[in-house]
Structure 1
Amino acid sequence: MKRVRLDRWASQLQPPRNPRLHAQRCAFSHETTTLPRRRELLPQRRQYITQTQWQCQRRTVSSKRKASTATALQEEVDEGETEVLPPPPARAPLYAPSHRKALHSAKLAALHARLSLSPKLPLQTLARCLVDPSADPRPTHNNAPFAVLGQDLLGHHTTEHLICHYPRLPMSVLFAAQYAFVGEATLASIRSEWGVEVVAAPGMEVDAGLLQLKRQVPGNSLVEGTSRQVKDMPGVRKLGAKFGGGRRNSEWNYRRGISSRVVFDDEFGELVGGEPYAGAQLSTPAVGEDDGTVEARGADGTTSTLPNLPQSPDETEPTTVSDASASFVRAVAGALYLHAGAAATKTFHRDHVLSRQLELHTMFNFTHPTRDLSRLCAREGFEPPVARLISETGRLSRTPVFVVGVYSGDNLLGEAAGASLNEGRVRAAAAALRSWYLYSPPKGEVVLPSEVEGTAAAPATGKGKLGKVWKPQVIDVGEIVT
């Protein structure tokens, strides 16, 4: 009986081997061979893999099982024709660090932990909040959409806090207080307090935990080739003067009163520019002339022409570090609202905005305090104010001090000290007005509207998400108009 080798007998029962792998000897074979070295095997392996891939590509159609003879003939005819595939879509260029780098950024992870942000806010979104529109004008890659939402949220929470705790504040003081809490200068200082560094020049090779922006040339720097400063060059105009503030005949610089600032201006009482954020859609867009500009129709019927939106950082206008820092903080608030909800945004506003101390009594500037106090007493039905000397010292010296009090009947409205009787009387009237406008209800009576959101879902209890019951807040008649 002829002897059969074990490796041949085993190969008949096993499935065919993978052609991409090396031809290996069976472990049970009696033949002893010497394996080639790794350096000698590499060229042969590369040649074998290349041939195998080419053969696999040729067998893509012919290796299929044919359903009939006609089908086989038809496929043989179609095999000669080359199918033209569409080119793969081009990837969008990156002008800032990719979202993959955000997961490996130590600065970004440290910032997320240092601010005690919600775990629902991913690092990729936090990295996008650090990209200013000047570094990447595309709205799907920068923080402009988040900043628009965050600005409204921060302004809303700040306004309701001031109005509910100080219902008698004049509008000018309310505008100043809002700017002191969530203005650009304050948000820029918050960015520096968080420890966020600013990149020297934006790019995809820098760390994702740095603030990306294209820096603006300082106004006190000299223009190349000239001895003139940048701020003195023609064409440098403010945003409000360039795009208009929403008023008719705004080029004539009409006086802006308090009512006009409430209706037309922003939350700080400043001029609103007509330039939207990058990628914003206009309400009534229309293609203009051949230059590709866009015409937008305003609320008063006037039309304004806006330039095309930039598509690369080379076309964007540079910005200051203060503006980019403010956009970053607002974007964090907006992204936190989208990922974690309103409660997390309110906690963020309380910890980072309302925790700052603001002295409201230093924001008042009365022109005629004695006249305003007399009108206030007449409106409220009080007795006319009377100034009385409480105490004095050094009347005949170089530094006299007179303590004067303003009384309405037997009630002391305010007192102050001055170097003369008239100065003491004016300061006492200003102190009385200041104490009237800075009235604050008891803490147990103050209920913010955001604290009782969702009461419609539970009308029986009337409690909001924070477990508080709504109470009507104090609404003042208004300030004394002089």
Structure 2
Amino acid sequence: MKRLQLQRWSSTVLSPRARTSNRLHQHLCSSSLRHQSTVAAVQESTPELKYRLNNAHKRSANLQYPSPPVNAALDSAKLASLHARLYLPSRLPLQTLARTLVDASADSNVDFNNESLATLGHDLLTYYTSEHLLCTYPRLPLSVVFAAMYAYVGPKTLAAMSKEWGVDLATLPGGEVDPGYLQFKRVPPGTVLDAETEQNGKRKNWRKTVTSKVVYDDEFGDPIKGSSNSSVGVPAELARATSVRALMGAIYLHAGRPAAKLFFEQHFLSRSLNISQLFNFSQPARDLTRLCARENFEKPVAKIISETGRLSRHPVFVVGIFSGQDKLGEGAGASLLEARERAALAALKGWYLYSPLNVRVPSSMEEEGASPWNPAHVDLGEVIS
């Protein structure tokens, strides 16, 4: 009698219940093997798993902070690239650079926001800019000085510089955000930003004289606004300007005065500004007459230098303003009156845009081995109309 070969017909003879249990057993065995292989793979990559778990733990722990923690600055690629892109001094740490990007509206703690650094940087920027303007152009009218100050270190200029540097804005501040982003609380839509206007549309501050701007207004000749409520939020332009001022203050604290002044010359004074376009004289001929009277010059006289096409549709007249034998200015126009006004305007610009040959600013005396100080030229000032 032959022996039965159960392996051939056992799958067909067994009951459906037995076949189901058999498949279930095979599935459990295969799943257990797969589970064991997964455990083995995890055990083999324990350092990577620990790294991921630590990062997840750090992210969950940072959620409780209003701004990124100090140690997170060392792991930020955006912050390191910004430091290298601006050629910042090596003595300026990444932690302080990250602090310059934290606005007071994002973190109210003065130990972690940029409010104190921005105050110092604001004073440095206005000091360096004002001494440069007053020593380079000692005869500038004060209104032109205000306009030039605003063009060099005004909030719109600083905000544009922040964009040029590649500083990105964070959508919402928080401890889990990359420290390389500018952290600030945005102003809700519909918020009234101009606190100087009344409900009827008239301004509370109606001063217009230059003297009142010197006494009561800020360094740009604008009315000083009250302290804004940072808990409500700040505009993006103001947050960008504050971060640039804070960076200037941080460089001064960590790298010293020479590095701060070099940074100012490379990033602020290097910007092109045509000061001759900032003048706005309403009656240049009258102002020129008063200027000549104050300086004991002969009374200015307008004389025609040349003309062409007087009887044509497009005449051109060239008029010069003379004080005795000296020509003060020259201008061309389609009429004699227009040419005279342009000549007077050119004469006034030639007077007010005077610049000494060797310009030195008071802060240059702080350098080592500085030559003796020669007093800067101080003018009598503009003609008050």
Q: TM-score range by the shorter chain?
A: 0.7 to 0.9
Q: Corresponding residue for 1:271?
A: 223
Aligned residue identity for 1:334 = G
| Alpha-carbon distance change, 409 to 240 in structure 1, aligned in 2, over 3 angstroms | same
1:425 maps onto 2:332 in alignment: no
Q: How far apart, CA to CA, are the structure 2 residues paired with 1:203 and 1:274?
A: 27
Q: C-alpha deviations, 1:39-62, integer Å up to 9, x for none?
A: 9xxxxxxxxxxxxxxxxxxxxxxx
Deviation at 1:273, TM superposition (A): 2.2
Q: In structure 2, what is the equivalent of residue 262 of structure 1?
A: 214
Once the 2 structures are TM-superposed, how far is the Cα of residue 131 of structure 1 from its aligned partner? 0.5
Q: Which residue is 1:160 aligned to?
A: 131
| 8 A contact 1:377–1:384 mirrored in 2 | yes
Structure 1 runs (4+) deviating above 3 angstroms are 239-242, 250-254
Q: How does 1:199-214 map to 2 (within 5 A)?
A: 199-214=170-185
Q: Residues 252 and 145 from structure 1, CA distance in 2 versus in 1: closer, same or farther, beyond 3 angstroms?
A: closer
Which amino acid in 2 is paired with 1:346? K
Shift of 1:237: 5.8
**Partners of 2:131 and 2:249 in 1: how far apart?**
18
Shift of 1:274: 3.2
Instruction: Note if contact 1:169-1:479 (Cα within 8 Å) is conserved in structure 2.
Output: yes
> Do the aligned residues in 2 keep the contact of 1:451 with 1:465 (CA within 8 Å)?
no
Report the counterpart of residue 471 of structure 1 in structure 2: 374
Amino acid at match of 1:409: G
> C-alpha separation between the residues in 1 aligned to 2:204 and 2:254?
45
- Match of 2:347, SS state, is helix
- Aligned to 1:451, what secondary structure does the other structure show? helix
The answer as to 2:339 corresponding to 1:383 is no
3-state SS of 1:180 partner: helix
Match of 1:129? 100
d(CA) in 2 for partners of 1:104, 1:165: 44
| Residue aligning to 1:448 | 361
Secondary structure in structure 1 of the residue aligned to 2:317: strand
Please tell me whether the aligned partners of residues 240 and 272 of structure 1 are also in contact (alpha carbons under 8 angstroms): no
Shift of 1:256: 3.3
Of Structure 1 and Structure 2, which has the larger fraction of its residues in helix?
A: 2
| Cα distance in structure 1, aligned partners of 2:63 and 2:257 | 33
Q: Which amino acid aligns with 1:470?
A: W
Cα RMSD for the two superposed structures: 2.1
Paired residues for 1:17-416 under 5 Å: 93-218=64-189, 230=190, 236=192, 238-240=194-196, 253-275=205-227, 316-416=231-331
Give the match's secondary structure for 1:103.
Answer: helix
SS at match of 1:405: strand
Task: Report the CA distance between 1:251 and its aligned residue.
Answer: 8.0
Alpha-carbon distance between aligned partners in 2 of 1:381 and 1:268, rounded to the nearest angstrom? 33
Please state how far the C-alpha of 1:447 moved relative to its aligned partner.
1.5
How far apart are the structure 1 equivalents of 2:350 and 2:86? 37
**CA–CA distance in structure 1, aligned partners of residues 275 and 142 of structure 2:** 13
| Displacement of 1:120 | 1.1
1:480 aligns with 2:383: yes
TM-score when normalising by structure 1: 0.64
Matches of 1:474 and 1:213 in 2, distance apart? 44
Task: Return the structure number with greater relative CO, CA threshold 8 A, min gap 6.
Answer: 2
Rounded Cα–Cα distance in structure 1 between residues aligned with 2:77 and 2:263: 22
How far off its partner does 1:466 sit? 5.8
What is the TM-score of this pair, normalised by structure 2?
0.80
Q: Determine the C-alpha separation between the residues in 2 that align with 1:92 and 1:275.
A: 29
Tell me by how many angstroms 1:344 deviates.
0.9
Q: Is contact 1:99-1:124 (8 Å) kept?
A: yes
Point out where structure 1 has 5 or more consecutive residues left out of the alignment.
1-38, 40-90, 219-229, 243-249, 277-308, 311-315, 454-463
Question: Percentage identity across aligned positions?
Answer: 53
Q: Which runs of 5+ in 2 are unaligned?
A: 1-38, 40-61
Aligned residues: 322
Q: Return the offset for 1:448.
A: 0.7
For residues 373-424 of structure 1, give each alpha carbon's deviation from its aligned partner in whole angstroms, at most 9, with x where no partner exists.
0010011011110101111122112111111110111111011111100110
